[in-house]
Structure 1
């Protein structure tokens, strides 16, 4: 179901850990009470042990203090371990939505997705949740408790502590306000750097063969320098406020000692109270100083959570009808208009036709006419600005995505394979692959002998993007993947662009087999020879439907038969 705008995945993941966080808060309360061990021990030393010169009292107090210190240390270790487990639990809960959003953003958000990387945002959230930063946040609510204790010692001491706390709190708020912009810019430069690195990795062959390494290296160096400058500015900003707050804390601690000494001289407090008040105030302000030191990661995590929520919500599944049967009869396109994701200017419009089970449609037209745009709209990859694509009367988005994949096969113009075995790529990485269905798809695509000739047959690992295979082999494995499971609708975008004569014959046979079992095949072609096994043709030109009808009738209008050979040899680019 499509998530409502009020739903925030990060918020929901954190709420799922609310019980653990409540436990951490209670542990933090005990830890903060145990933090009084040092001040109270000093108070007893100055006011009781030194006054009485009692060694047994000193030994007992020291034993109690050691026990309390050990308990506090163990609870603090437990708290940090719990925070780390919460971080990993949130990460595990959101990793699925992050992967899904990362996959769907380019086709749903277009250029808006350029600055988003859900997996990187999730990693920023995990790093902060697993750091000591949240522990400092859990300690902050106990600051008034420490200030109250100082007030109980003496009103002047309490007033000094509160004034110092207010000044430091103002600095924290100022730091928060001023760090938003630099943190956002830093995230942008980090994303640009990562995108350039990814593009260079994907196009390593082009960079190597065409001598583009130095040019891209200079551009990457420029991106690194920009990121370095932003990182430097952010670090300088954080270090400035951290140093100022640390300086104020030390000054306040000394001021507390000075005021305490004055009150001791006036015989209003004891020396032990003077020391204890100074230590308690330092403890009260310590969470603020620690929080400021982790402030960049906190701001980065908060902004990452906002981007993550936006990406996941934008990439949510539309409402689907459970139990809707797979289509078996018709494909109907009604006044279809489409545009690139995130754009409003249509690249294709006015397309309408109907195909029945067993039909094969060839989509022809010159380069840039809108054929690939049509294929993406037909598969539901690109949004329909107007009109609809219906299978047996239902639009594609009425089926859940996983169920829709069982009756749709797609071979894109640029075939992308995944790092895995040949069998895994053919069966679309199914959890429980059907080996007979894999063999059937491979034989239908005419690659069974080719695959068995590989070193490990169907279990051969092909590497990232099929690096171990030729372009033709990748295309034919992609064809087998599109045919896997006997889908009702098969969309092939220039399936013969890298095929030899044997591959073209296998393609023609495969198209005939799909039609014979009652499926519908749509083929985008640049050469009339690819239309041999089809019975319908759709002509697209300048983003508009020009012709639709029986194959020979349409081709006679757009590509006349050559008298010398009695065949159509012209490519549609020349039409």
Structure 2
């Protein structure tokens, strides 16, 4: 049965392995749950002994002996209950150790325009359900028949009352599940949307204030939050109705069992001790159902989250494919029929784009806004996976190398510098120390990259030089400074392929001169360089040009030949205007 719960889609193997690693925890928790539920019969047996043996005979020694046994049994029950809760907690911690890093890695590897930023929250939902009260309720539920059998042993009428009451409770629980499932799914979706919107606004507060969007942003977030809380309230109201009905039914059944037991005792069919015992047994028999109803929203949310995690891992299945270690590439780039179309868009952003670039060559990519230049840069940098087509480095597809291994040979400067919270050295070195790289090696590499980018002197003028700590999104630097730091990051480790998207958009004349020197130096050591640019200055020294229009490569070739083609296309248009 445990195997039936394991995910089986390609790419979800880490999820299955993590669950299997926790199998021992869950098995022992189930064993302890069996013992706990058996020991829950202790108060019932104690009452029967007191009322049927001690009270009629006045056997005080019997009372002492029975009481000692009961205390020992209840202490054992408490210990086992503590142990099973601890086992489930340990299982949750093991799941966190085994999967938290992999979940984050899969989020990074999910190459879409809008990655899943809720994945860790989904994982926490699953982990909380497996290590909390929801799992305890699931483990207790199968032992309800024990108490039902005990009720039948007291008297068939008491057993029948418990059976009918249990069936009614199960029916209410089923109705609750059927009614709550779509409501909870909508509530979870609304909550995820609201959280994502809040994170988006929080990351762009300066733009929001500068554009006078403060109140509009607040109103939009309030509306999204209202929809989320309304969905949650709707699910809770529906569940509350069933919870109230279940509690009413349980209390009524307890009272009815007392009344029925008293009637049977008066008729001489059961002993006086069975009156209280019947109520206790019935209460214990239906308690797991009530616990399940209370834990049901969390279990449903965990199931939805588990499906989301399965989809995430299945969507990034290529990450765990076995790969042969390849030699370091020289920098020969080949783009073969690349097509990219973002979800929800009417037309592809790239259509069958193809070209080649040799080591040491520089390529300038030009075209109007929206022509697909940035999308092409993202694909070449390995930041975006195309819908079809292949990008190769020295003949090997990008997927032939692990993502981090491939990135060591590629330097990428996006349009937005995208610096992170941490020191300037950490940003330049791509946080190599956190990945286990030697500190001295990282220091040398970061300084060398900054010098290659012409940013060394600028960094030294900062309050703490390379150890200057930046805030989220690189707060603490001007836009031009951030762009030069991002260029140094792209040059870190002497990559064999450089992809620079609008690298001079925020640079002054000195910065642009340093950029040109860095590009020429990289090409001189054999790196292939791809430059996306609007300003012609940075393209004056490139070897080749590529012209894009509407996601299609119009022409590509030697710089002068492409420029002549572009001028020839402009002349007829000017003649028509005249």
Range into which the TM-score falls when normalised by the shorter chain:
over 0.9
Tell me by how many angstroms 1:175 deviates.
1.3
Which residue number in structure 1 is paired with residue 574 of structure 2?
none
- Relative to 1, partners in 2 of residues 1:311 and 1:343: Cα closer, same or farther, differing over 3 Å? farther
Contact 1:42 1:272 in 2 (8 A): yes
Aligned-pair distance for 1:4? 4.1
Give the C-alpha shift of residue 550 in structure 1: 1.4
Offset at residue 275 of structure 1 (A): 1.9
How far off is 1:9 after superposition? 4.7
Q: Which residue of structure 2 lines up, in the alignment, with residue 27 of structure 1? A: 32
Q: Which residue of 1 aligns with 2:349?
A: 347
Residue 168 of structure 1 corresponds to which residue in structure 2?
A: 169
2:243 is matched with which residue? 242
Which residue matches 1:393?
A: 395
Pick aligned residue for 1:464 from 465, 472, 496: 472
SS of 1:455's equivalent in the other structure is coil
1:44-83 mapped onto 2 (5 Å cutoff): 44-83=49-88
Q: Any idea what the Cα deviations from partners look like across 1:408-459, whole Å, max 9, x if unmatched?
A: 1111111101111111111111121522221111100001111111111111
Cα deviations across residues 135-176 of structure 1 (Å, max 9, x unaligned)?
121111211111112222222221221121111112112211
Deviation of the 1:344 alpha carbon: 7.8
- Aligned CA distance change for structure 1 residues 320 and 35 (closer, same or farther; 3 Å): closer
Within 5 Å, which residues of 2 pair with 1:413-562? 413-430=415-432, 431-433=436-438, 434=441, 435-558=443-566
Q: RMSD of aligned C-alpha atoms?
A: 2.0
Distance in 2 of aligned mates of 1:354 and 1:210: 42
CA contact (8 A) 1:340 1:382 kept: no
1:221 CA displacement: 1.4
User: Matched residues in 1 for 2:305 and 2:295: separation?
Assistant: 15
User: Do 1:539 and 1:546's aligned partners in 2 also have CA atoms closer than 8 Å?
Assistant: yes
Cα offset, 1:68, TM superposition: 2.0
* 2:335/2:392 contact within 8 Å kept: yes
Partner of residue 92 from structure 1, selected from 71, 90, 97: 97
- Distance, in Å, in 1 between the alignment partners of 2:346 and 2:132 is 44
Rounded to whole Å, the distance in 2 between the matches of 1:242 and 1:396 is 54
Q: Which contiguous aligned blocks of 4+ residues in structure 1 show a shift greater than 4 angstroms?
A: 8-11, 341-344
Whether contact under 8 Å (2:11, 2:314) holds in the other structure is: no
SS at match of 1:418: coil
Q: Is the 8 A contact 2:352 2:552 kept in 1?
A: yes
1:247 Cα deviation after fit = 1.3
Q: CA deviation at 1:384?
A: 2.9
Give the 3 Å change call, closer, same or farther, for CA 451–409 of structure 1 in structure 2: same
Whole-angstrom distance in 1 between the partners of 2:173 and 2:212: 51
- 1:214-229 to 2 correspondences below 5 Å: 214-229=215-230
Which residues in structure 2 correspond to 1:310-329 (within 5 Å)? 310-318=311-319, 319=321, 321-328=323-330
Q: Compare 339-348 and 172-181 and name the one that shifted more.
A: 339-348
> Higher mean Cα deviation, 530-539 or 467-476?
530-539
Name the TM-score, length of structure 1 as normaliser: 0.92
1:13-64 per-residue CA deviation (whole Å, 9 max, x = no partner) reads 2222110111111111221121111111111111111101223322322232
CA–CA distance in structure 1, aligned partners of residues 220 and 143 of structure 2 = 50
SS in 1 for 2:389: strand
Query: Which residue of 2 is the match for residue 364 of structure 1?
Result: 366
> How far does the alpha carbon of each residue in 1:492-550 deviate from its partner, in whole angstroms, 9 at most, with x for none?
00100000111111111111111111110000110111113311111112222222111
Are the aligned partners of 2:12 and 2:317 in contact in 1 as well (CA < 8 Å)? no
Preserved CA contact (<8 Å) 1:320 1:399? no
Cα distance in 2 for residues equivalent to 1:353 and 1:211: 44
Post-superposition shift, 1:341? 5.6
Deviation at 1:11?
Answer: 4.4
Work out whether residues 452 and 518 of structure 2, in 8 Å CA contact, stay in contact via their aligned partners in 1: yes
Q: Deviation of residue 6 (structure 1)?
A: 7.7
* Cα distance change on mapping 1:315 and 1:344 into 2, 3 Å: farther
Unaligned ranges ≥5, structure 1: 561-575
Helix, strand or coil at the partner of 2:318? coil
- 2:406 match: 404
Structure 2 counterpart of 1:381: 383
Task: Call closer, same or farther: CA 1:13–1:320 in 2, change over 3 Å.
Answer: closer
Alignment deviations for residues 289-337 of structure 1 (CA, whole Å, 9 cap, x no partner): 1111111111111111111111122123354632112221522223333
Deviation at 1:272, TM superposition (A): 1.0
* Equivalenced residues, count: 554
**Given the two structures, how large is their TM-score scaled by the length of structure 2?**
0.92
Q: How far apart are the structure 2 equivalents of 1:49 and 1:522?
A: 93
1:272-287 correspondence runs (5 A)? 272-287=273-288
Structure 2 unaligned spans of 5+ = 1-7, 569-578
How far 1:100 moved relative to its partner?
2.0
* Residue of structure 2 in register with 1:119 after alignment: 120
Deviations 1:67-90 (A, max 9, x none): 222221222122222222222222
* 1:259-274 alignment runs, 5 A limit: 259-274=260-275
| Alignment check: 8 A CA contact 2:11 2:317 kept | no
2:523 counterpart SS class: helix
